[in-house]
Amino acid sequence: MKDIKICLVSDTVYDVNGVSRFIQDFSKEAIKYKKEFYVISSTEKSYDEEIPNIFNIKPLFRMKMPFYRSLDLVFPSFFKIKSKIKEINPDLLHISTPGTIGLCALISARILKIPVVGIYHTDFPSYLYKNTHSFLVRFLTIKFLKRFYKNYKALFSRSEEYMSIIEKQLNFSRDNLYLLKAGININSFDKSFKDDSLWNEFKIDKNSFKVLYVGRISVEKNVDKLIKYWKKFFSSNMQLVLVGDCELEVDMEELKNFNINFLGRQKGIDLSKIYASSDCFIFPSTTDTLGQVVMEAMASGLPVIVTNKGGPKTFVNEEMGYVLDINSIEEVSKAIEELSKKDEVYIKKSQKAYEYMRDKSISHSFLDFWEDNLKVFKLL
């Protein structure tokens, strides 16, 4: 059987988040393995690196995404996106986000008669409910997603946890669900990047116990809850380090009195060093389909603390960290306190986290993804 050609369309490719890093890494892997894999997006955001198989089509208009201010809601040129898809002429069209660009791609695929598959990156019903507390919004979002994914030939889930959710919530056939094998660029995230001198730049005591969080600093990630807890149980030798766009209404100067540090967006080698130079990682989100940042932390040798809901709990266990109820301040404070001792328990968890990630490279993930797509195409 001949090899296939895949075009992936996404609303987020050059944003500072795990999904964007994942897509960029996949694009590089395609070049490395000489696979015909192309990406289309539409953004006015700048990017650090030109990747030849990623095509960015300038949008007609953009505005800040409601409830997600670090992302743009763009109005792309439908005809340019359709034209680019037609030019690439893929065997399968992947849509990784159900936004405006994804809609353009879905309509284009119907016109061009190209089979559509997708990646379920984000739990939008839970995400929107966390921000609006409206069951109606959640209901309407699920209704929209059912219609959006109705005629997909296959859907890829980021974790086993979400395969069941997709099947039940979207009425999607289990036979057409595939697990997208987890993987990151382990060359970019490793404990060898440890550099304690970087803390001087942020005026953080390098000898303190640094609890790291990376991602959107927002309500749907439960960072507001984490900050509330931290103010109650922190001690002078502990520092909470928050990396990412802050979407909470907080007084950053006032929170410094509680050893809470906002480092803003970080990327590249700077982000790698921050991971490896921290002491543990906490991820309070209950709505993530995978939690790529958790894997990046583990690859950097950090014990991790995750919640008992969502994607991360499917690969984190007590050997490498803690899986707990984020609604329990007692569980959260106990986990951080135990890790802060930096004793034998800490060392074992750190080693297990690091060892677990050794065979979770982005190459393994990409090649597994490619084989599954060959299976999908063969069944058409």
Domain extents in the chain: 5-183+361-379, 191-359
Residue 323, pLDDT score: 97
Report the phi/psi class of residue 133: left, alpha or beta, with left for phi > 0 and alpha for psi in -120 to 50: left
| Cβ-based neighbours of 156, under 8 Å, separated by 6 or more | 117, 118, 119, 120, 177, 178, 179, 180, 369, 372
Residue 9, pLDDT score: 96
Same fold yes or no, 5-183+361-379 and 191-359: yes
Residue 65, pLDDT score: 63
145 within 8 A of 125, measured Cβ to Cβ? yes
The whole-chain average pLDDT of the chain stands at 91
Place domain 191-359 in its CATH homologous superfamily. Glycogen Phosphorylase B; (3.40.50.2000)
Residue 82, pLDDT score: 97
CATH of domain 5-183+361-379: 3.40.50.2000
CA 358 to chain centre: 19
Coil, helix or strand at residue 324? strand
Query: Which secondary structure element, helix H or strand E, spans residue 73, and what is its range?
Result: strand 68-75
Regions of the chain with pLDDT less than 70: 1, 63-72
Angle at 184 between CA 171 and CA 347, to 5 degrees: 110
Q: What's the whole-model pTM score?
A: 0.86
Residue 67, pLDDT score: 60
Residue 72, pLDDT score: 65
